[in-house]
Chains A and B, each alone.
Chain A
Amino acid sequence: MRETVYPTFADAVAGGVVAGGWVPDLLPEGATDIRETHDLDTEEVWLRFTFAREALPGLVRQCTEVDALHVSYPRATRRLSWWPDDLQRAAATPATPYRFYRCPSPDRYPGQTYKVAAFLALTDDDRAAWYWRRP
């Protein structure tokens, strides 16, 4: 596992993490401060980035908003200083500030009904977004 910071989306592309499938192409081209961690063996991804408000419609265009109970939460987030603790507790928090989206993920298993789950969490008063892939 390794954690990498990319100042811009272009840097992430240049770093090969988009081609490698770790950073999804749903990220706005103007995304900045991209913090990415992944597990080569399990294909899990933990991602945080910031984006301009006007990019929001494009960001969630391919995703479906879901209730906090319909989210598969990631594991091992305490080692990530940039992962909010309260996101993990959203399902138990009546007034959670997060809105959750289920997003498309690479079709690793053609012909199978199972698809790898990928989620996006946003807040109303923050330009930050959290994305994770949870096999």
Chain B
Amino acid sequence: MTVAGGRFRAASVAPFLVIAAGIGFVLYLQAPITAEVFFNGDGGIKFLLARQFASGDLRADLHFPAPEWARSLWTEGLFPFHPPFVYEREDLRYAQYPIYFPLLSAPFYRLVGLRGLYVIPALALFVHWLVFRSLCARLRMGAAAMTVATLTLAFASPLTLYAAMFWEHTLAVTLAFTGLAAVVAPPAGGESRWAPLCAGLLTGLSTWFRPELACFVILLAALSFAPFNRGGRPPWWRGLFAGTMLAATLASLIANWILSGHPMGFYRHIAYAPGQRLALYPESLAALTGNLLYFYPLVLVPAAYLLLTVRDPKRALAWPFGALLAIGILFLPVVPLLLPMGGGRQWGPRYLLILVPLVALLSGLSAQRMSVLLPRLPRYLGFAILAGAAWLGFLRNTVLGGDRVVSDTESRVLPALDYVLKHDSEVVAVSRQWISEDLAAAFDRRRFFLTPTFADLARLAAALGGRGASRFLYLCLPSEPSPPPLVFGSGERRGRAAFARAGDFGQYTIYEARIGTAGGGSGPAPEREQGVLGPQRNPAEPGLDRTQYGQPAREDEQELERHVLEPR
């Protein structure tokens, strides 16, 4: 077998074996998922929408059934979500995310429950791998090069891990890549007149799920008409493809505008002034690029190939290598202009995931062409760089990433969710909306309230005390201060809330709050006005005042690392 040849029939089976192994890996990653806990808090809100749709409620706004007293507290500012995750519009609350992914996931959730949430992320990736292999074949890539490309795509990239996360990224990448595959190389046996319409529609649909792919769509439209395009498509085909793709993209902007009042939807960055956007650009670009290099070192392979073939650039950049490279190079710096941020809690730069198959394809082409264009020594050097980058990508994604995804599923949120669901308190207060997102699975059985200040916490305790409730839970980050005993109200209605630290459960610290009457209750709390809340100086009930000020907080670095996964 040679890299370029693919002489043995058995060798052509190898990419399918890689895909089969990849499917096994994805199933391994999904196996430990036993509850609706997600790698990123975004998943919590999307899950709430999916569950809402699955129940037959197809309203686009996010709403939960709740008694009047809870709704009243929410209206007064204790609603568990706020921007940038949930926005108010005309007295309704909308998630910032497009509704389409939860909408597509809802039937699967209704049919098979929890596992149904992961059907689309996994199936989309499997289809993507098949489309990728098919494109490699259409580009006449040899079996070995095709196997290398598929192997790096499945096991040396961060994309595979997203098949075990309730996220739309694999679906969006699959849709967008389908268009690229159609433009770059037509199928050998010809295709129907509907093909450009289907390819354009699928590619345009990718922007319904990921807004940054609008940049990719524009680049692809330009590529389809580029004079150097050697894809062999007639002008009518290119026109239909680009027209359908751009129309589908335009439709997504219109749909966003109808739902949110802005063509880009409810994203916080739409409020950034151009000056601020530019000021944030270098840091955002550095974050995305750094993440790309760290999590997907294979991006170095096309660069190394270009250096090694510098004496013969015409052959080195021959179709489609140069065009694919240009798309990648142009896409990368545009994204941080559109989304001036790093991507939050993620594995690898999720805004750049469309570059993963692009680079895998370039790596496969590099491997194939190096064996033809280069003499022995530079060729071996090129192969060594490819092997090293692939090995590093494998270690960082399949080994470390796989372990991280599994341990995250089991230990980041699940312990806190279990505690909340087993505890008999109906009410859960949280210090940050991230916690509400992570515990979204409990929203149908518990009432959540966001209490960023201790005054908010006391306000909640007062409302609950007024209803005769005696207990609730409070969750915060380990590095946040413990709640002090709180007094509220005055005279007959003077009450007190004391907090006992139950412990750290995964990423969060949980306190059990007890509401009682204030001890020694004569007159209002010292130096506090009526109705204003203050820390109780002398907690009366022994055993309740177990708040541990000055407790050795867990290392902040550990907490930060949990929040944003970045290369160190």
Contact = CB atoms under 8 A, between A and B. Distances in A.
Contacts of A114: 82-83, 88
Interface string B545-566: 0010110010111011001101
A92 B482 contact: yes
Q: Is the interface of A mostly helix, strand, loop or mixed?
A: loop
A109 B271 contact: yes
Interface residues of A, number: 37
Contacts of B557: 79
Contact of B287 (A19, A21, A40, A92): A40
A21 B274 CA distance: 12
A65 B440 CA distance: 35
A20 B276 contact: yes
Contacts of A113: 77, 88
Interface stretch (B125-133, B142-150, B160-168, B338-346): B338-346
Contacts of A19: 275-276, 278-279
Contacts of B480: 73, 75, 88
A77 B550 CA distance: 13
A61 to B, nearest CB: 23
Interface residues of B, number: 54
Given A92-B484, A92-B547, A117-B452, A112 B88 contact: yes
Contact of A69 (B82, B83, B458): B458
Contact of A78 (B431, B535, B553): B553
Contact of A41 (B278, B483, B564): B564
A26 to B, nearest CB: 17
Given A20-B276, A78-B553, A89-B550, A40 B284 contact: yes
Interface in A21-62: 21, 39-42
B479 A76 contact: yes
The 9 tightest CB contacts between A and B, nearest first, are A20-B279, A92-B484, A19-B279, A76-B556, A114-B82, A109-B83, A72-B452, A78-B556, A41-B344
Interface of A: 1-2, 16, 19-21, 39-42, 67, 69-73, 75-79, 88-89, 91-92, 94, 107-114, 117, 134-135
16 contacts: A1-B566, A40-B284, A42-B564, A69-B454, A69-B455, A69-B458, A69-B486, A70-B454, A70-B455, A75-B477, A78-B556, A91-B454, A92-B549, A109-B83, A112-B87, A134-B452
Interface of B: 77, 82-84, 87-89, 268, 271, 275-276, 278-280, 282-284, 287, 341-344, 431-432, 452-455, 458, 477, 479-484, 486, 532-535, 537, 547, 549-550, 553, 555-557, 559-560, 563-564, 566
